[in-house]
Structure 1
Amino acid sequence: MEQYFEIIFRTVILYLLILVIFRLMGKREVGELSIMDLVVFVLIAECVAFALEDMEKELFPQIFPIILLFLIQYLNSLLALKSKKVRDLIDGDPSLVVKDGIINEEEMRKQRYNLDDLFQQLREERVPSIKNIAYAYLEPSGKLSIFLKDDDPLIIPLIVDGDIIERHLKMIEKDEQWLLETLKTKGYTNSNEIFYCCYQDYDLHVQLKGTPIDGKQ
């Protein structure tokens, strides 16, 4: 009977601990988990399994790796929040696999993403033909984001957290010099102070770092 109480006690403690940890790690859909998230979740599951299987060992030494994994993930999330470069390094970056109805073979090979995968996801999104696609991005989660030619103009981020995204400039056939000069005409002289800048309807939408939600500087 004592063993059953020990099992109940460990199960409740581990359940509450995992519930708190996952709550603190933030809200993300399962399909949007990064590689780092998946690694942490798998390792936490293994630690929980060991804690429930080995009843002879004390509980805290078996809980400690779970807490350590949470701290690693929490530190990673803070670094990723402050730096887009860290986010790109850990989570990866969307890959442009279709542009103006043309499949990007080089990017497909780089991502080890074949035509069968592409056509399957197009069928799932009810897109009848490649030629109808303006842009299709393979997200780090493996989901295909599709923008049709008849859709509203695509919003393209050019600056995120002060970092200029050069590959997006190439998409609109512009360069960094054009971006900086255009920002200067709008009164923005330092790109590092820009939280978000996007290209929409042939114009730039800019938000500075620290802008309150009411939009007033």
Structure 2
Amino acid sequence: MLVVFIRTLILYIIVIIAMRIMGKRQIGQLQPFELAVAIMISELASVPMQNTGIPLVNGIIPILTMLAAQILISFISLKSTKARTIICGRPSILISGGKIMEQVFRQELYTLNDLLEQLRNKDIYNIADVEYAILETNGQISVIPKAGKSKPTCEDLNITGKYEAPSVEIIIDGDLIEKNLKFSKFSKAKLENELKKLNIKSTKDVFYACVGSDGQLFCQEKEKTKRS
């Protein structure tokens, strides 16, 4: 039992390291060859996990081989445009000038239902509002709305936009993040004062707190604390 636990732990760490080396893309952003490598690595790791009769090295070597192959292919596609086209393919124009390209749909085995679903994910509910729709190599679509159908920008409205930056998380599940607190220019005394205004006695009672780009504190108390 202990052997199975140790083998599983070792393979788990190796798979995590391999996936980390592959990059930070989400599943929906993976190229076809990257998705294939990810699936094969998980399958290669599962075999020696289940069968203790197989030497552990027989699972590790194929994983490292797949990782090396993935890195090599990524490097080649990075350096060569032709190789990148062969490996990853090219984007396909599904809608051009407001016209649906039926032939492209057939070539890509892509349905109108697939397109409509992705348009809805981009808050576009009428295909007539689309000027161009491009199917990217990772399966996602890029959309250019027709003139007058896109959301107005500050430039369009002739107004000055406000500066926006990511909020800084300072408390997560009761844990105070000292580094982020300094970065947010919030002192402990100021934080404690703000928490007192919200009738919160301690940072341990806070589920989540962050400081926005406007310097305002957003804070949510833990549910258990509220009940008490």
TM-score when normalising by structure 1: 0.64
CA distance in 1, matches of 2:62, 2:77: 22
Equivalent AA in structure 2 for residue 134 of structure 1: E
In the alignment, which residue of structure 2 is the partner of 1:32?
Answer: 29
In the alignment, which residue of structure 2 is the partner of 1:53?
Answer: 50
CA distance in 2, matches of 1:118, 1:56: 48
Q: Are the counterparts in 2 of residues 97 and 108 from structure 1 also a CA contact under 8 Å?
A: yes
Q: CA deviation at 1:17?
A: 0.8
In the alignment, which residue of structure 2 is the partner of 1:88?
Answer: 85
Q: Are the counterparts in 1 of residues 132 and 143 from structure 2 also a CA contact under 8 Å?
A: yes
Instruction: Find the residue that maps to 2:131 and give its secondary structure.
Output: strand
- Map residues 1-217 of structure 1 onto 2, 5 A cutoff: 4-150=1-147, 151=150
Cα offsets for 1:26-69 (capped at 9, x unmatched): 11111011111121111111111111111022211221111111
Cα offsets for 1:116-161 (capped at 9, x unmatched): 2222322332323333222100122222211112359xxxxxxxxx
Equivalent AA in structure 1 for residue 20 of structure 2: R
TM-score when normalising by structure 2: 0.61
**Percent identity of the aligned residues?**
34
Equivalent AA in structure 2 for residue 115 of structure 1: L
| Uncovered stretches (5+) of structure 1, i.e. residues with no partner | 153-217
Q: Are the counterparts in 2 of residues 133 and 147 from structure 1 also a CA contact under 8 Å?
A: yes
CA distance in 1, matches of 2:85, 2:108: 15
CA distance in 2, matches of 1:56, 1:120: 47
Structure 1 residues 136 and 55, CA, compared in 2 at 3 Å: closer, same or farther? same
| Uncovered stretches (5+) of structure 2, i.e. residues with no partner | 152-228
Cα offsets for 1:76-103 (capped at 9, x unmatched): 0110110122122111221101012111
Q: Cα RMSD over matched residues? A: 1.7
CA distance in 2, matches of 1:15, 1:117: 35
Q: Are the counterparts in 1 of residues 136 and 142 from structure 2 also a CA contact under 8 Å?
A: yes
Q: Are the counterparts in 2 of residues 133 and 146 from structure 1 also a CA contact under 8 Å?
A: yes
